[in-house]
Structure 1
Amino acid sequence: MQIDGHTRLVGIIAAPVAHVRTPQLFNASVARQGLNAACVPFHVEPAQLPAFLAGVAGAQNFDGLVVTIPHKEAVVAACGALTETARLVGSVNAMRFDRAQGHWLGGNFDGDGFVAGLRERGHRLAGKRVLQLGAGGAGKSMAYAIAREQPAELVIHNRSAAKAAELAASLQAILPALTIRAGDGDPAGFDVVVNATALGLRDTDALPLPAARLGAGTLVCEAVVRDGDTPLLKAAREQGCAVHHGQWMLYGQIVEIARFLGVGLEAAFVERILGPAA
């Protein structure tokens, strides 16, 4: 990779930022594809966020930002416009400065990245019974993206039942022809099970569902990104289930965000860098 006066820049903001994987993945992928672009990490503390956004908006070769913890909700107020998903879930994980309008446009691609990762592996959600575990920030975006794929039924389970019911009701209002409801988290009878919680980052984490209730052949999907199987995916394999790793959601997000920011990054180049998710 060679950075010159024509290089298009993308940033990622977080606090802290040392743990993020996006710059490595993005930069290796664009270099392999032959694109003149680069992703730069920025450690931005919450108190400095307004000043940072105001300053970086003035760089004409700056195409936008990837946004992660703790800024996903805070940047909403800085955006003059939001995509439909970002408006629905109340959080932003990518933003670009619209110079014609003079404001930031914010988008949320957690859900789009998840669905793109499924498609990349040949999985379809249309006509399937889907159980999603988790109704937090990423979970809201994922549930909306899943619902847009026209499943036969989408059931949302969350530790706080009221939060699951609220999300289901908001999606049902937008997509009234679908069957969307809150549920108890029993995976029996579902074609697809999606873990949108943080459970699985550590081997000592509890399972987000009773694994013994998983049916053989069910597709069990993770949003958690880590090397190898999470405890849930390991248990799912033991039940005869197909599994789908969280890396595919990460790959999908990178491609979807790059498209939003105007960088034509192809999925095949993203996968080749880190290798396929197991």
Structure 2
Amino acid sequence: MDSEFSTAWRRLSGESLLFPVIGHPVAQVRAPLVFNDLFARAGIAAVSFGLALPPERVVETCRALLASSSVGGLLVTVPYKKVLCAAADRLGADARVAGSLNALRRGPDGTFEGDLFDGTGFVRGLHAAGHLPAGRNILLLGAGGAGAAIAAKLGAAGAALVKVFDPQAGSAETLAARLREHYPGTGFRVEAAPDAQGCDIVINASPLGLRPEDPLPLDPARLAPGTLVCDIIMKPATTALLRAAQERGLPVHRGGAMLDHQVPAYLEFFGFADLARRVETGSGQVTLRPAAAAP
């Protein structure tokens, strides 16, 4: 741990702000590493950490956490991105469209606000890597919280067709119907199987790949040459799906980019607008410009 981290941890006190990442499990979450580094470098007395909560009473527990003046906000990961919409008194536009959230905060009036940044981070990450979804045919695996967010932003980015596969077909149908209303220029089609025929981009937004024993969400051997294979799982950085795609010479896009490119939106949501303007993303890492250099 470098001197900045050591100084930051010594600075933590009863006045420090807490930013738990709510999920079950949380061993895979990368957000605390990113945010704690930024807090330390900016001299902010705050800390982020994973907090595993069982599903029983998770909504009530999160509302109790948000009521505490010690909690600056909650980050939300699997499997609670849809469930915890019930913890919010108000939802931002992206959260309403997707029907899920990944951040909660206490507003100035004491009510709880939720919003969603996964889709923004994912599409910004694609753009930064030179992959433009506009006009493309895309297979999306998973219609959960993150998948819903990504599907919505793909529509906003002008994708030609988004084919959605989820073992829970009802969830996929509900999502597709809602997105057709908001993004009529994009075709949203529910698939009965993970069929990537005719697709330029494949995105795994399902939990498959979190555990070593998980099966592949689809067979990369059936993908056309040049198909971009994306995975939103952040740990491991190179999932079994991405490794199999690389072995077949296919381009890949790792999950860490989604978090990196939504960090500024998270920070602004939690009240750190000045810090958000200093954040730079690129080369697979999040860095901080000196305060004087921020625009």
Query: Which aligned pairs between 1:228-267 and structure 2 lie closer than 5 A?
Result: 228-263=237-272, 264-265=275-276, 266-267=279-280
Matches of 1:179 and 1:48, distance apart in 2 = 35
Distance 1:166 1:69, change over 3 A: closer
Q: CA deviation at 1:271?
A: 4.4
Query: Which amino acid is 1:218 matched to?
Result: T
Query: Which aligned pairs between 1:1-278 and structure 2 lie closer than 5 A?
Result: 1=5, 2=8, 3=11, 9-14=18-23, 20-32=29-41, 34-41=42-49, 42=51, 46-47=56-57, 50=60, 53-54=63-64, 56-59=66-69, 62-69=71-78, 71-100=80-109, 102-183=110-191, 184-263=193-272, 264-265=275-276, 266-268=279-281, 271-272=284-285
Matches of 1:248 and 1:28, distance apart in 2 = 17
Q: CA deviation at 1:15?
A: 5.5
8 Å CA contact 1:44–1:52 kept in 2: the answer is no
Matches of 1:271 and 1:130, distance apart in 2 = 24
Structure 2 residue runs without a partner (length 5+) = 288-295
8 Å CA contact 1:201–1:226 kept in 2: the answer is yes
8 Å CA contact 1:215–1:239 kept in 2: the answer is no
Structure 1 residue runs without a partner (length 5+) = none
Distance 1:137 1:152, change over 3 A: same
Distance 1:240 1:28, change over 3 A: same
Matches of 1:92 and 1:235, distance apart in 2 = 31
8 Å CA contact 1:25–1:270 kept in 2: the answer is no
Distance 1:8 1:240, change over 3 A: same
Q: Deviations over 1:245-273 (max 9, x none)?
A: 11112323433322322223314389446
8 Å CA contact 2:237–2:256 kept in 1: the answer is no
Q: CA deviation at 1:96?
A: 1.5
Matches of 2:58 and 2:196, distance apart in 1 = 44
Task: Using the TM superposition, name which of 139-148 and 258-267 deviates more.
Answer: 258-267
Aligned length: 271
Matches of 1:40 and 1:114, distance apart in 2 = 21
Structure ranking higher on relative contact order (CA contacts 8 Å, 6+ apart): 1
> What secondary structure is seen at the aligned counterpart in 2 of 1:130?
strand
Q: Deviations over 1:193-215 (max 9, x none)?
A: 11111122234322222322211
Matches of 1:176 and 1:268, distance apart in 2 = 32
Distance 1:40 1:227, change over 3 A: closer
Q: Deviations over 1:155-174 (max 9, x none)?
A: 11222444333322221111
TM-score scaled by structure 2? Answer: 0.78
Q: Deviations over 1:20-70 (max 9, x none)?
A: 4322221113333x25252333555654753663464352x7532212355
Identity %: 37
Matches of 1:167 and 1:262, distance apart in 2 = 31
Query: Which amino acid is 2:72 matched to?
Result: D
